[in-house]
Amino acid sequence: MTEFYREYLAVAVLIGAALALVGLMLGVGKLIRPVRPQADKYITYEAGSDPVGGWGQSNVRYYVYALLFVIFDVEAVFIFPWAVGLEPLGIFGLVEMVVFILILVLGLVYAWRKGVLRWA
Amino acid sequence: MNPVIDYHALAPEIVLSVTIILCLLVDLFIPDRPRLVPQLASLGVLAAIIPVLTLAVSGTDVSMFGGAFVVDNYALAFDGLFLVVAYITLLVSFDEIADGDYYGGEYYVLLLTSVLGMVMMASSRDLVSIFIALETISIPTFVLAGWRKHDTKSNEAAIKYFLIGVLSSAVMLYGMSLIFGFANGTKLSVISEYSAGSPPALFAVAIFLTIVGFAFKVSAVPFHFWAPDTYEGAPLPVTAFLSVASKAAGFVALLTIIRFGFFNSSDSWQPLIWVLAAASMTFGNLAALRQTNIVRMLAYSSIAQGGFILVPLAVAGDVSGPSAWEAVLVYLMIYAAMNLGAFAVVMAVSRRTHSTEISSFAGLGRVDSVNAVMLSLFMFSLAGIPPLAGWFAKFVIFRAVFDAGTTAAVVLGVIAALNAVVAFFYYSNVVRRMWFDEAPEVVSSPRPASVALTLAIGITVVVVVVVGVYPEVFARLGQLAFASG
Amino acid sequence: MMAAIQITDTYYLVLSAALFSIGAVGVLVRRNVLVMFMSVELMLNAVNLTFVAFAKTLNDTSGQVIVFFTLVVAAAEVAVGLAIIVAIFRRRRGMTADDMRVLQG
């Protein structure tokens, strides 16, 4: 067997071990636990409150936060390479990045003024 | 290792960016003066024209960012076109946006952002900067198309435009990634050098994918199906903007990428553009014949006009001089004037009739003879009848075809000529109904057209008439733009 | 004894071509607007993979820089696209592309 396949053998062993472990734990649990079926036990657990049934729908308000996160998260893509190359870029690079970040902040100011950040 | 930046050459972009930021801030912090943002936006666009003029006078070509961003006559000509179109779009927007109970300030911010992308596009000479400029143009227009967000039609317009827009970006970008792999670079000059050698057959696939992406953007048949729905659903000023400015930007991107990048592998792109041109003209015109709504008719007619603009590109590889490139620029300038004018009149009339059905234009000659005369002028110009500007647009196309002189070019020329005849029927149909049909019952609550809308109609009609009589004005501009190339 | 399989750049290109095709078929076949949109995102990721693979082959980092731009543009598209979709879902539930036929004709 070549080196390449030997490396993948480790992956296969790991998968096998994981499956065996899960099977073992569930199997042992099934052997030693008492079985007393009740209807209530089969209801989906929803943080202690009564389950609603069907598909739950998350509040559309979360979407705006997700959106803000996506935008600001992705802008980090530009900030990391800039941070690495900050020294050779010097003052020019600093000014450019400040302009870039200010424009981003403008987006946040917009969201704030439009009341998006208030949980009403 | 700081890049050398010529702030004079970047001035149009900088002025626009500052205007966008100011508009947003004014809208946020001075909300009780809604007229301030539109005024600021139009001032900003006019201010951005000044550096374009000073740069044109100074006459030196500037190349920045390793040749990815070039300011030369070619770029300045299109900068000027985009900024003037943006100004007229702003003029026709004031009434519509102020009347609806929709966010006003953001409309202008998004519109100007799109214009910023167009101005960047004219200077881009690199696949990446072309892509970024194209997305800067497109993404705000997705939102603008859905501006009336409580209207199902507008929603539908936005989602269709959006899905097609991102799909075309993906296809185009895949083509670009393959080109990057083949040519070992994204600068158009590098690609041009590479294609002058003997590129493998797969390179043609890359070119094919890239051009198909652009074909979506300029709504060339068979990639046009989104256009009529989006044009009808979007608010009218946005439709005017989409059918003129953003379409022109797509053509500029196509022109740039072919002229500076793919030119040497003309075997790969010429047949494709030929088919797109022939299909767009024929299908666009035949579909326009059947329309009963004037906005849908103008949508299909703009698909057909797009086909005409593709004609000189389809023969460009066989033309020795710059006449094919000049034809694209001249046609775009004239098309912008007459199409914007037609939309402006439709807006002015629909403020009274609350309808864009062609039947509601019946008898307009007696009710509102000024607008009827204006719309007749624009319709005849679109049909290409002398002495209105449209004839010169058709003339430069046919001149490019004859300069090429190949069999394929002549066949395409014949198709174009036949289509010009077909187009005459539906354009003249509108005119006939305005002057010879009885007017329907007058609907109540007419809203008078504002000074701005009248000014927009005035500017465009002057261009259409003056350029029709003295075509040398635009012809000279075309020569200047391509003098060095 | 089998010969070692060298993971050459061709593998990446074939993978990205496959991803791109899956995405393209998804856009054409699926009718749910959200799923169509996800398919487009798959196509964009295929593009990113191609750029990175070529950047490695050609030893040219500009391919990776382009991916930055593609990512950011894709994020902007997601933001706008989801906003449009949310605006529509607020009016109508369970929207598919076939329901959008008010304007067909």
What pLDDT, in 10s, does the model give residues C46-93?
999 999 999 988 888 888 888 988 988 988 888 888 888 888 877 765
Separation between Cα atoms, residue B108 and residue B422, nearest integer Å: 38
Most distant CA pair in chain C, distance: 64
Give me the mean pLDDT over the B402-428 stretch.
87
Nearest CA in chain B to A93: B2
Contact state of C79 with A67 under an 8 Å Cβ cutoff: yes
pLDDT at residue C1, rounded to an integer: 45
Closest in C3, C71, C78 to A77, CB measured: C71
Touching B: which chains, 3+ CB pairs < 8 A?
A, C
Over residues B350-356, the mean pLDDT reads 79
Residue type for B63, please? S
Per-window interface: A 85-104 vs B, CB < 8 A: 88-90, 92-93, 103
The whole-number pLDDT of residue C95 equals 53
* Cβ distance of A4 and C1 shorter than 8 Å: no
Distance from CA of A109 to the nearest CA of B (A): 9
Contact map slice: A 73-92 vs C, CB within 8 A: 73-75, 77-78, 81
The closest CB to that of B24, out of A88, A92, A110, belongs to: A110
SS3 B106: helix
Minimum mean pLDDT range among A116-120, B109-113, C11-15: A116-120
- Give the closest-approach CA distance of C98 to chain A in angstroms: 23
Q: Give CA–CA dist B400/B318, Å, rounded.
A: 10
In C93-102, which positions are buried (b, 16+ CB within 10 angstroms) versus exposed (e)? Answer: eebebeebee
Residue pair B323/B403 in contact (Cβ under 8 Å)? The answer is yes
- Is the Cβ pair C80, B157 closer than 8 Å? no
Residues in C touching B163 (Cβ below 8 Å):
27, 33, 36-37, 40, 97
Average pLDDT over residues B231-236: 86
C2 vs A contacts (CB less than 8 Å) = 1-2, 5
Does B132 contact A at CB distance below 8 Å? no
Residues B66, B380: Cα–Cα separation, whole Å: 46
Q: Do C86 and A5 touch (CB under 8 A)?
A: no
pLDDT at A15 over 90: yes
Q: Domains along chain A?
A: 59-120 (1.20.58.1610)
**Is the Cβ of B24 closer than 8 Å to some Cβ of chain A?**
yes
Choose from B36-40, B194-198, C43-47 the range with maximum mean pLDDT: C43-47
Determine, for residues A74 and C1 on separate chains, whether the beta-carbon distance falls below 8 Å: no
Listed in sequence order, the DSSP H helices in B243-318 are 247-257, 266-289, 294-315
Specify the higher pLDDT residue, B201 or B305: B305
Mean pLDDT of B406-414: 87
Q: How far apart are CA B370 and CA A27, in angstroms?
A: 88
Does residue A113 carry a pLDDT above 80? yes
Contact B2 A106 (CB under 8 A): no
* CB-CB neighbors (< 8 A) of B28 in chain A: 109-110, 113
Point out the residue among A89, A106, A110 whose CB comes nearest to the CB of B2: A89
Q: Which residue has the higher pLDDT, B89 or B360?
A: B89
Facing residue for A60 by CB, picked from C71, C75, C86: C86
pLDDT(B157) > 70:
yes
Q: Is the Cβ of B1 closer than 8 Å to some Cβ of chain A?
A: yes
Position C94 scores a pLDDT of 52
Long-range pairs of A69-73 with CB within 8 A, sequence gap ≥ 24: A70/C75, A70/C78, A70/C79, A71/A104, A71/A107, A71/C75, A71/C76, A71/C79, A72/A104, A72/A108, A73/C75
Report the Cα A82 to chain-centroid distance in Å. 25
In this complex, do B2 and A93 lie within 8 Å of one another by their Cβ atoms?
yes
pLDDT > 90 fraction of chain B, expressed in percent and rounded: 22
pLDDT of residue B17: 93
User: Looking at residue B485, what is its pLDDT?
Assistant: 44
CB-CB neighbors (< 8 A) of C37 in chain A: none
Residues of C in contact with B65 (CB under 8 A): none
Asked if the model's pLDDT at residue C103 lies above 60, the reply is: no
* Confidence bin at B446 (pLDDT 50/70/90): low
Amino acid (1-letter code) at residue C28: L
Tell me whether the omega of the peptide bond preceding residue B228 falls within 30 degrees of 0, making it cis. Answer: no
Average pLDDT over residues B9-23: 91
pLDDT for B47: 92
Interchain pair B153, C102: CB under 8 A: yes
pLDDT-based confidence at residue B160 (cuts at 50, 70, 90): confident
The two most distant CA atoms of chain A are separated, in Å, by 73
DSSP state of B262: I
* Interacting residues of B212 by C-beta distance below 8 A, sequence separation 6+: B168, B171, B172, B175, B223, B272
pLDDT-above-70 percentage for chain B: 96
Chain C interface disruption, residue of B114, B126, B177, B291, most C CBs within 10 A? B177
Contacting residues of B for C40, CB less than 8 Å apart: 163, 166-167, 170
**Do the beta carbons of residue B468 and residue B387 sit within 8 Å?**
yes
Predicted local confidence at residue B46, as pLDDT: 92
Q: Which two tokens stand for residue B343?
A: 């939309």
Mutation for C interface: B137, B174, B187, B232, most C CBs within 10 A: B174
State whether C83 and A67 contact (CB < 8 Å): yes
User: Of B431, B249, B276, B209, which is closest to residue B342 (Cα–Cα)?
Assistant: B431
Nearest chain B Cα distance for residue C6, angstroms:
20
Q: B170 vs C47: CB contact, 8 Å cut-off?
A: yes
Q: Tell me whether the omega of the peptide bond preceding residue B222 falls within 30 degrees of 0, making it cis.
A: yes
A&C contacts, CB < 8 Å: 35
> How far is the C-alpha of B257 from the C-alpha of B263, rounded, in Å?
8
When scoring C41, C42, C66 by the number of chain B Cβ atoms within 10 A, the one with the most, hence best to mutate, is: C66
The domain segmentation of chain B, as residue ranges, is 11-481
B-chain CB neighbours of C100 within 8 Å are 156, 159-160
Substitution target from C8, C14, C51, C52 for chain B, most B beta carbons within 10 A: C51
pLDDT above 60 for B444: no
- Cβ atoms < 10 Å from Cβ of B283: 19
d(CA B286, CA C10): 46
Q: Which long-range contacts (CB under 8 A, 24 or more apart) does B362-366 make?
A: B362/B433, B362/B434, B362/B437, B362/B438, B362/B439, B362/B440, B363/B433, B363/B434, B363/B437, B363/B438, B363/B439, B363/B440, B364/B434, B364/B435, B364/B439, B365/B434, B365/B435, B366/B439
**Would an 8 Å CB–CB cutoff place A36 in contact with chain B?**
no
Residue B134 token pair? 């194209």
For residue A74, give the chain C residue with the closest CA: C72
For residue B55, pLDDT over 70 is answered with: yes
What does each C-alpha distance from B263 to B188, B193, B255, B307, B420 come to in angstroms?
10, 10, 10, 20, 28
> Nearest Cβ partner of B174 from C47, C63, C100?
C47
- Chains touching chain C, criterion 3+ CB pairs below 8 Å: A, B
Distances, alpha carbon B88 to alpha carbons B74, B94, B194, B453, B457, in Å: 22, 10, 41, 9, 9
% of chain C with per-residue pLDDT over 70: 80
Closest A-chain CA to C68: A77
Write down the pLDDT at residue B137: 92
Q: Tell me the per-residue pLDDT of B252-300, one tens digit each, with 9 for 90 and over.
A: 999 999 888 888 877 888 888 899 999 999 998 898 888 888 888 999 9
Q: Alpha carbon B69 to chain centroid distance?
A: 21
Residue C103, chain A, CB below 8 Å: the answer is no
Q: Hey, are the CB atoms on B28 and A109 less than 8 Å from each other?
A: yes
Average pLDDT score over residue span B364-372: 82
- Span A57-85, average pLDDT: 78
What's the CA gap between B382 and B389, in Å, rounded?
8
Q: Name every residue whose Cβ is closer than 8 Å to that of residue B157 and which is 6 or more positions away in sequence.
A: B145, B146, B229, B230, B231, B232, B233, B234, C103
What is the reported pTM? 0.85
Interface test with A, best of C82, C88, C93 (most A CBs within 10 A): C82
Whether the Cβ atoms of residue A81 and residue A89 lie closer than 8 Å to each other: no
B171 vs B217: CA distance, rounded Å: 11
CA angle B230, B141, B246 (to 5 degrees): 85
Between A41 and B147, residue with greater pLDDT: B147
Residue C5 has pLDDT above 80, yes or no: no
The alpha carbon of B289 is separated from its chain's Cα centroid by a whole number of angstroms, namely 22
DSSP reduced 3-state for B71: strand
Mean pLDDT of chain B: 86
